[in-house]
Amino acid sequence: MGEISITVWDAVLLVLLGWLLGLMGPLLVDRIRRQYRNAEIRRAVLAELIEVRNRLATTIYLIEARLGTFSPKLLAWILPILVSYRGEHRTPHLVETIRQLLAAGDAELATLERQLQAAAGGSFDARKYSVRFLHSRLADLVGFTGKDQALLVDIRTRVDLYNDAVEEARYFFERTHEPGVSSENCAQTAESLTAGCGNMRAEARQIIELINRIIALR
């Protein structure tokens, strides 16, 4: 009788266990799916930020070349960003140029600055950038900590400010090439263009520093 009683209880426990697993199974599967999805979103956001960081670092270099105002400290800050980048828009020639600039003495650096400024000529190829994936996932960043999420929102805002600075600089660049502009107005517009490029550089650096903080927190 005792053996029969144990067998019955075993069957009851197995039924209860099966029932519980039936209830918990979908929850566990859903949780695993959400964790996987959050990890995928996190990887995609970071990949987008690394791409933007590389392009903005290149933009800062081009601004310095246009203005002829290379700072060894700034070049040393840009170099590891370009070296660490492994995407399809790598610029080994630019990395080598920056290394040459950093190795140059004061007189040689001044000569190289003039050469690079002349090579930049009268072109203005500044582009706007976007963080489309980040923007589309701002309400779905549970894969990031609260601190990370605050930084990501700040990055999105800073990208908008950078793009505004690009528009401003582009406007003044076009003004410098309008026919019939007086020399006085042309000089004032050139000063405004230089200031606009400075604003672009400042915003780009802010974005890169924020991205560096996100990457450091991975």
**Cβ contact 169:148 at 8 Å:** no
Ramachandran class of 200: left when φ > 0, alpha when ψ lies in -120 to 50, beta otherwise? alpha
Alpha-carbon dihedral angle through residues 186, 189, 194, 198, given to the nearest 10 degrees: 180
Q: What is the pTM of this model?
A: 0.78
CB-side exposure of 86: number of CA atoms within 13 Å? 2
Q: Whole-number mean pLDDT of the chain?
A: 81
How many residues are there in the chain?
A: 218
Of the two residues 58 and 8, the one the predictor is more confident about is 58
pLDDT in tens, 76-99: 999 999 999 998 889 999 999 999
- Confidence (pLDDT) at 114: 78
Task: Examine the pLDDT at 29 and tell me if it is beyond 60.
Answer: no
> What beta strand segments (E) does the chain contain?
none
Domain-embedded: residue 181: yes
Interval 166-172 mean pLDDT: 88
Interval 52-78 mean pLDDT: 89
Domain-embedded: residue 77: yes
Interval 58-75 mean pLDDT: 86
- Confidence (pLDDT) at 33: 63
- Name the domain count of the chain: 1
Of the two residues 155 and 176, the one the predictor is more confident about is 155
| Burial of residue 46, with CB atoms counted within 10 A of its CB: 0-12 exposed, 13-18 middle, 19 or more buried | middle
Of the two residues 90 and 216, the one the predictor is more confident about is 90
Domain-embedded: residue 35: no
Of the two residues 24 and 126, the one the predictor is more confident about is 126
Domain-embedded: residue 7: no
- Confidence (pLDDT) at 178: 72
Neighbours of 201 (CB within 10 A): 22
Domain-embedded: residue 70: yes
Percent of the chain with pLDDT over 70: 77
Percent of the chain with pLDDT over 90: 33
Task: Examine the pLDDT at 17 and tell me if it is beyond 60.
Answer: yes
pLDDT in tens, 132-153: 988 888 877 877 888 888 999 9
- Whole-angstrom Cα distance, residue 90 to residue 44? 19
Domain-embedded: residue 12: no
- Whole-angstrom Cα distance, residue 189 to residue 195? 10
Task: Examine the pLDDT at 161 and tell me if it is beyond 80.
Answer: yes
Domain-embedded: residue 198: yes
> 24 falls in which pLDDT band (50, 70, 90)?
low
Alpha-carbon dihedral angle through residues 192, 130, 80, 141, given to the nearest 10 degrees: 130
Domain containing residue 106 = 42-216
CATH number at residue 64: 1.20.120
pLDDT in tens, 100-119: 888 888 788 778 777 777 66
Domain-embedded: residue 28: no
119-148 in b/e burial notation, b at 16+ Cβ within 10 A? ebeeebebeebebeebeebeeebebbeeeb
